[in-house]
Amino acid sequence: MQEENLEIERKFLVENVTEELLRNSFATSLIYQTYLYSDDNREERIRKATKSGFKKLDSSGTLVYMTDKEYDENSEIGSLVEETTYTFTEKIGHGKKRIENEKEISINEYLELLKKKDSNTLYKTRYSFMVENTEEVSEVIIDTYTITDFIVAEIEYKSDKTDHIPQFLQDIIVKEVTGKKEYSNKKLAYQKD
């Protein structure tokens, strides 16, 4: 597989996640995630994600997300944007380092694939945060779920150097759960109602 398809991430169980912290996210996504196939080493899933957040033009003329806090302070320069995307994802491997192949699909493809579902649909809210160390970290998110009371933070890394944890997460981490099946999206989706 190609190197750009490599996903390197760590997951953490977190607590004491405050409204103030969530307001510092730059976007919120409502995610519907359904598995089509799964075994110990491979999974296929589809996802509908509706992402909302405030965007502004940066110095190069590109629309970029801004935090709620930034918007509150500069409401005249931003506007609320809501985007819905549909994706098909295949992941191979388990643990901190996996191969991930993801492609955007149409709503019609999504609805056709949904008929082949092999799991319940997992509903979660994702909060995306600005990255403070862009040399090592590419993404920081916090997920909350409708079917469980635990909250998971994920850090996606650009390389095998995975020791950096943003300061705001250090204060709320309970324990690392990377590779622990009981905290995986797949496990939650396959739970009986």
Domain parsing of the chain, residue ranges: 3-189
DSSP per-residue string spanning 44-64: EEEEEEEEEEEEEE-TTS-EE
pLDDT for residue 2: 42
Instruction: Please say if the pLDDT value at position 141 is more than 50.
Output: yes
117 near 34, Cβ under 8 Å? Answer: yes
d(CA 133, CA 127): 18
pLDDT for residue 76: 59
Element (H, E) at 185: helix 185-189
Burial of 160 (0-12, 13-18, 19+ CB in 10 A): exposed
Summarize pLDDT for 51-109 with one digit per residue, the tens.
987 776 667 777 677 665 565 566 556 677 789 999 999 999 988 899 999 999 999 99
Average per-residue pLDDT in the chain?
87
Class of domain 3-189: mainly beta
φ and ψ at residue 109, rounded to 5 degrees: -65, -40
